[in-house]
Structure 1
Amino acid sequence: MATGFKADFLWYRLGTSDFVHSFFSTISFHLEKEGWGTKYPHLMKELYNGRLTLQNIPKAIEEAKEARERLKLFSPSEVVWDIEDLSKQPPWGDNISTDITDLSNYFYTSGGKDMFEMLFKACNEALELEVDLEIENL
């Protein structure tokens, strides 16, 4: 099942739901010491739970920019596949591209695009269309 961002009629395919959950799990585990959504509520609570309201998109963009910058401090081996079960590992293990140097550039969509770049693109499209940004499974 594919998971992606949806802004009105535009669809941005990200990958499997497990992969997308790993993206958010990694952010929360390393950057939100007080728990899921405590530092980045618009990104981690609103968007992750399905809908980021139009008025909060600019706040979520800022949250994502900060998270991306802070994830540069963590090596790829520190990826979190599932915050609810830290024993789980990515299906590819540690067999990753040498282009991946830290957790800020670890996540690439099934189409080969940087996950943060796709998030920014989808947010900007939603702002332009004046619609909420959704995350959906197809």
Structure 2
Amino acid sequence: MSVGFLVDCFYYEVGQPDFLHSFFSSVSYNLEKNGWGSRFPKLLKQLYHDRLPYTDVPLAIEEVRVIQEELSKLSPDKVIWDIEDLTKLPPWGTDISPMVTNLENYFATPGGETFTELLLTALSVAEVERQDLVIKKL
């Protein structure tokens, strides 16, 4: 089963559901000292739990840009696989590619771009098409 971002009929594949959860877990744990969605409510409260209305896309884009910048300053060992169980590790453990140099580029999608690049693409399409963005399992 794969998961991705859906905008109308456009689907952007992220990968496995636990990988998507790891991205959001890593963001919240490392960048939101006051809990899930406290700094990035459009992404972690709206998009992750339901849908992001297209009217909120500009604010969500700003959130992604901040996340990109801040994750790029953190080492890959700061990855959080599951914020509900901090003892869980990625299936590959610490065996990662030497090309992974920070937490931002740790999250690469099946298409080869980073999670945040893919999300920005989906957000741009949502804005142009004036369509909500949802997370969809296939």
What is the TM-score with the length of structure 2 in the denominator?
0.97
**Pair 1:105-2:125 in alignment:** no
Q: What's 1:78 paired with? A: 78
What does the per-residue CA deviation read over 1:5-31, in whole Å, with 9 as the maximum and x for residues that have no partner?
000000001011100000000000000
Assess if the C-alpha contact under 8 Å between 1:50 and 1:136 holds in 2: no
Aligned equivalents of 1:36, 1:117: Cα separation in 2: 22
Aligned residue pairs total 138
Aligned residue for 1:48, secondary structure, equals helix
What is the TM-score with the length of structure 1 in the denominator?
0.97
**Pair 1:127-2:104 in alignment:** no
Aligned equivalents of 1:90, 1:99: Cα separation in 2: 17
Deviation at 1:79, TM superposition (A): 0.3
Aligned equivalents of 1:5, 1:50: Cα separation in 2: 12
What does the per-residue CA deviation read over 1:79-134, in whole Å, with 9 as the maximum and x for residues that have no partner?
00000000000001111111111111110112322111000000001111110011
Assess if the C-alpha contact under 8 Å between 1:51 and 1:132 holds in 2: yes
**Pair 1:3-2:6 in alignment:** no
Aligned equivalents of 1:53, 1:28: Cα separation in 2: 21
Aligned equivalents of 2:111, 2:93: Cα separation in 1: 20
Aligned equivalents of 2:13, 2:70: Cα separation in 1: 25
Aligned equivalents of 1:95, 1:5: Cα separation in 2: 28
Aligned equivalents of 1:50, 1:107: Cα separation in 2: 22
The 4+ residue runs of structure 1 with deviation greater than 4 A are none
Q: What's 1:88 paired with? A: 88
Deviation at 1:73, TM superposition (A): 2.2
Where structure 2 has 5 or more consecutive residues not aligned to the other structure, the ranges are none
Aligned equivalents of 1:121, 1:93: Cα separation in 2: 29
Aligned residue for 2:13, secondary structure, equals strand
Deviation at 1:42, TM superposition (A): 0.1
Assess if the C-alpha contact under 8 Å between 2:14 and 2:115 holds in 1: yes
Q: What's 2:136 paired with? A: 136
The alignment's C-alpha RMSD in Å is 0.8
Aligned residue for 2:49, secondary structure, equals coil
